[in-house]
Structures are given as C-alpha cells and as structure tokens.
Homo-oligomer: A and B are copies of this chain.
Amino acid sequence: MIDRAPAGAGTYALVETFFRSEFTTDNPLITQAVKRMLAAGGKRLRPRMTLLAAEANGAAAADHLPLAAYMELIHVATLIHDDVVDNATTRRGVNATAVDYGNRISVLAGDYLFAWIFKNVTAQYPHPVPNILSATLAEICDGEVLQLRALGDLDLPLRAYLEIVLKKTASLFAASAECGALMAGAPAASAGALRDYGRWYGTAFQMMDDLLDVTADASRLGKPVGNDLQERKMTIPLILALANGDGNFRALVERLYSKGDRSAVGLVVEGIAALGGLARTREQIADYARRAELALAPLPESGAKAELVKLAQELRVEN
C-alpha cells in the first residue's frame, strides 16, 4: 500500500509510485507503450490537480489515485495519437510511439487506452464523472481539429486561439480538478471553483508551452526550438507579434508558414521577441494564472489550496 503523503509536491511522488507499482492494463503491449511514454518525463500536473482538488475538499489524496491516474492516461493517449505521422501533409522529426511501433499500432494503442479508461471509469465512478471525461475527450479532439484547420492562418484572431486552447488543453485540467472535487463529495460551488481553476490554469499552461517553444533551449524542451513554428502552428507569441502590424515581419512569417522556407525560423523567433510577442505573452500568462488563483476564493484555506495557488504562481514567474 501507498503511504499517505502531505499535499503539494508529495502528490507528484504519489502519482509516480502509483504508475510504477500498481498501473497495468489488460494488454501487455499497451502497458509497455504507456510506461514508455510516462518514463519520458512529465510533471503529472493533471493527476496532481485531481489529488489536490480532492484534498482541498477534505479527502485523502491516496484515496483518489486511480481517478487521478485516468486523467494522466487520457493525456498520454492523446500524445500517442499526436505522434501518428501524416506523410501526406507534415514531416516531423521524431515521433516516438509511431516510429517505434508504426502508425497502426499507435492508433490502436491510443484507442485501446481510451476504451480501457472508460471501461474502468464507467464501472468505478458514478454519474457525472464518466460523462465529464468523455465530453472532455470530445472537446480535446474538437480543439485539435480546430488547431489543424488553423495551421498557417496568419489572420487567426486571439479569440479563436483561446477557443482552441480552452478545448485542446484547458478542458482536461478543468475536468481533472472538477472530478477530484466531485469524488471528494465537494459542494457544487467548490467543484465549480476548481473546474474554473483548472480551466484558467490550463489556459496559462498552454500559453507557457507556446512561449517556451521560442525561448527555451532544445535540451530543456526535449524538442527543437521553434518546433511549433516549423509545424505552422499559430502560437500566442506569434499571434501577438503579428498583431503589431509590421509588414516586414508578416512577410517573413509567410516565408515560413506559406512557402515552407525553414531557414526563416531563427529570424521569426527574433522578430517575435523584437515586436513584443514574448512580453505580451508573459502578460497574458500572468493574467490567466491570476484568474486561476482568484477562482479558488470560495474554498476554505488548506494546504492543498495553498499548493494550487503555488502551482499557478509558478507559471507567472517561470519564464
């Protein structure tokens, strides 16, 4: 059995121990593929949010580990599917699962994982948890379809970017926190507050992810700098830099986004910084991280609440 651990950083250790010692699916090949993805890193933020939300409502984190694990596994399944190579329209560098196992196995592994999660969730959790999780997965897919359709669209408004982020990223953080609260027997106001916290945290988190793509070094990212730009994604630093209205910068971005000239990546990164794209992105991150903090107001003070506040504050100071 897993020892009870204090709130906060302890939740990371709880989740890791659970995955190492208790996690298994009915299919050894899938279990192996999942463990491989988990071993590649990750901060386990989604399951930690579930555990902290449960703790903030008086429950013991250790009692909600399987539910927390399902949140991370939904994320892992979407990552496995993200790695499917589309030779027709994109050429990516390294695609871990797809390269090692092939597209067919990657698709099946992700499908199996989704199905296995829902099989367990529908057997173990009452309404509305299974409904929240399946609705969240639908939102994630919807957001990713919107993102694919927005690739290379230099006129994408910030509003449309936010819709994509809310669906593809923030929805799972929101569900992770909400379900943790619900299973701890939280009153509706508290569950709603934690859902809002997750939504705004997830929004700031994705913006930070966008920012790191053009500011971090490759070893920290685990992928090349400017990877999002090479995939013609409309990230928030780019959108905010384009909003500056500089015609030369737009022409430069078009070289990369419309004509596929990858030699322009470095100049686009420099242009984003020069046009205030980084500074304005940091403002947006701080704004959404602050919204996340404020959402917690209805909750009584607790170690878990303090840890949730700290997670949001880390996003504001991290870059």
Contacts and interface: CB of A to CB of B under 8 A. Distances in A.
B89 A142 contact: no
Interface string A107-126: 11111101110110111000
A29 interface: yes
Interface string A73-117: 000001001001111111000000001001111011111101110
A134 B110 contact: no
B122 A134 contact: yes
A105 to B, nearest CB: 6
6 contacts: A27-B142, A88-B102, A110-B111, A115-B135, A115-B138, A118-B134
A141 B102 contact: no
Nearest to A114: B114
B81 A107 contact: yes
Contacts of A115: 114, 134-135, 137-138, 140-141
A153 interface: no
Interface residues of A, number: 47
B103 A88 contact: yes
Given A30-B145, A122-B130, A86 B111 contact: no
Interface of A: 26-27, 29-30, 78, 81, 84-90, 99, 102-105, 107-112, 114-116, 118-119, 121-123, 127-128, 130-131, 134-135, 137-138, 140-142, 144-145, 148-149
- Pick the most buried of A26, A84, A99: most chain B CB atoms within 10 A of its CB: A84
Contacts of A114: 111, 114-115, 137
B102 A89 contact: yes
A87 B90 contact: no
Contacts of A118: 118, 130, 134, 137
Contacts of A149: 29
Contacts of A142: 26-27, 112
Nearest to A27: B142
Contacts of A148: 104-105, 108
A116 B135 CA distance: 7
B141 A81 contact: no
